Amino acid sequence: MEKKLLNLLTVLCLVSLPFLFKGTKMRENLLIFFSKGVLATLVDAYVVGTKKVEYPARPFRKIFKTNIIYDMLFFPILSVIWVKLSYNDDLWKILLKSLLFSVPMSIGQWYFERNSRLFKWKKWSPFHTFGSVSFTLFTIRGFVGLIKELDKIKDNHNISEY
C-alpha cells in the first residue's frame, strides 16, 4: 500500500509541474521550488538524524534516510501554490492562508502515521508538523518578499540610469 501511495504522490506532483511553472513568474516559482526543496531537505535531515521521525517506506532506501518525494517534490510544490495564493496579501491574510496548508498537513500526517508505514513518529506530533510546515512556509514567503524588494530596487536603479 505504501509504495502505491508514494507512486501516486509522485505522479500527481510530476503532472502538476508544467501547470505551476508557466507564466510571468516562472523565475520566482522555480526559486521557490528549489529553495523549499533545500530547506525541507535540511529540516528533514535534522529530524531524521535526531531520530524524531523515520521513513520505513521511502524511495532509494540505501541512499537517503529521508523521503525525497516529500522534500524535493511535494513540499516545494505546495510552497509554490501557497506563495501564488498569498502573493499580494497583507500579513493577516498570509497568516490565515498558511493555516489552509499547515493544519491539513498536520492532520494528514497524523492520519498516515497511524494508518500506514510511510513514516513513524518517535519524538514528533501533529504540533511539530504544524510548526515545521509553518516555519518553512513563512521562511520561503519571506524569501520571496526579499526578492520582490530587490527587484523593485533594481528596477528603480535601472530607470534612474536612463
Report the share of the chain in percent with pLDDT over 90. 67
Decide if pLDDT at 157 tops 80.
Answer: no
Q: Is the pLDDT of residue 160 over 60?
A: no
* Helix, strand, or coil (residue 58): coil
Is residue 25 scored above 90 in pLDDT? no
Domain count, the chain: 1
Q: Say whether pLDDT at 45 is over 90.
A: yes
How confident is the model over 105-128, as a mean pLDDT?
Answer: 95
Alpha carbon distances (Å) from 110 to 103, 105, 117, 121: 11, 8, 12, 9
> Could you tell me the pTM of the whole model?
0.86
pLDDT digits (tens, 9 = 90+) for 61-79: 999 999 999 999 999 999 9
Count Cβ atoms below 10 Å from residue 68 Cβ, excluding itself: 19
Distance separating the N- and C-terminal Cα atoms of the chain = 62
pLDDT at 161 over 60: no
The whole-angstrom separation of Cα 55 and Cα 53 is 7
Sequence-separated (6 or more) residues with CB below 8 Å from residue 35: 140, 143
**pLDDT digits over 1-21, tens only?**
889 999 999 999 999 998 888
**Interval 102-110 mean pLDDT:** 95
Distance (Å) of CA 135 to CA 12, 62, 72, 117, 127: 25, 29, 17, 25, 12
Q: 161 or 120: which carries more pLDDT confidence?
A: 120
What was the pLDDT predicted at 117?
92
Does residue 162 have a pLDDT over 70?
A: no
Inter-residue contact 16 to 73 (CB < 8 Å): no
Q: Which residues contact 26 (CB under 8 A, 6 or more apart)?
A: none
Q: What whole-number distance in Å separates Cα of residue 56 and Cα of residue 119? A: 6
Structure confidence at residue 153 (pLDDT): 85
Instruction: Give the range of the structural domain holding residue 134, as residue numbers without chain letter.
Output: 2-161
> Is the pLDDT confidence value at 159 over 70?
no
Nearest to 133 by CA among 97, 103, 89: 103
Least confident of 4-8, 11-15, 117-121, 158-162: 158-162
